[in-house]
Amino acid sequence: MSNDDVLAGVGPRLRALRQARGATLAGLATETGLTASTLSRLENGKLRPTLEQLLPLARAHGVPLDDLVAAPPTGDPRIHLRPIRRSGLTIVPLTRRAGGMQAYKVIYPPAGRASTTKRQTHEGYEWFYVLNGKVRFVLGDQEFLLAEGEAAEFDTRVPHWIGSADHRPAELLTLFGPQGERAHLSPAKR
């Protein structure tokens, strides 16, 4: 493929990634620092993408730069784990495709060190499995303690909060769809 052919395919891939995440042009503009107009022109093929534009887009969509330009596969199926630190949590993406169900390892700090115990709500469903530690799980008016090897599944429209239940960090394997990904991984408010 020629360079022109490669670059012509970037726009449709960018649009598909954004739509799979349920993101708007305005929301993506806020996330990347690019204007909504620039994003629209990139998606429509009216603007040739630059590396300075593609890097924040790959970061925002959670995909390698190679995915945006359809680089040939290297044959390496391993996922290179890059932890994200957000609101006192360490979140390690375990999947790398945009849209659909996502898997994460989430490490909650020891009890009392969380930045908030405020319950949150958002669209979708969430499932988690306790890998290590003990978890305090508040769902609506109920509170649960979960130990290693226990799991929970719940409607995230019910106010909820998850955190370590004791002096040790708690490690969870968590699955959620695009709505949960936006709620948990959206840029921190300044």
Tokens 């409607």 belong to 155
Give the per-residue pLDDT at 113. 73
Q: Which of 56-70, 89-103, 124-138 has the lowest mean pLDDT?
A: 89-103
What span, in angstroms and rounded, lies between the C-alpha atoms of 59 and 161? 27
Residue-level pLDDT at 89: 87
Task: Say yes or no to pLDDT of 16 above 60.
Answer: yes
The percent of residues above 70 in pLDDT, for the chain, comes to 81
What tens digit of pLDDT does each residue of 149-181 get? 999 999 999 999 999 999 999 999 999 776 555
State how far the Cα of 160 lies from the Cα of 84, in Å rounded to an integer: 21
pLDDT over 60 (residue 39): yes
CA distance 162 to 180: 14
Q: What is the largest CA-CA distance in the chain?
A: 59
Estimate the crossing angle of helix 10-21 against helix 51-61, to 10 degrees: 30
- Looking at residue 158, its pLDDT comes to 94
pLDDT in tens, 66-119: 778 876 666 666 777 778 888 788 988 888 666 678 889 999 999 887 666 789
Contact in structure between 180 and 140 (CB atoms under 8 Å): no
Calculate the average pLDDT of the chain.
Answer: 84
Cβ neighbour number for residue 189 with a 10 Å cutoff:
5
Q: Is-contact 37 53, C-beta < 8 A?
A: no
The pLDDT assigned to 42 comes to: 94
pLDDT number for residue 140: 94
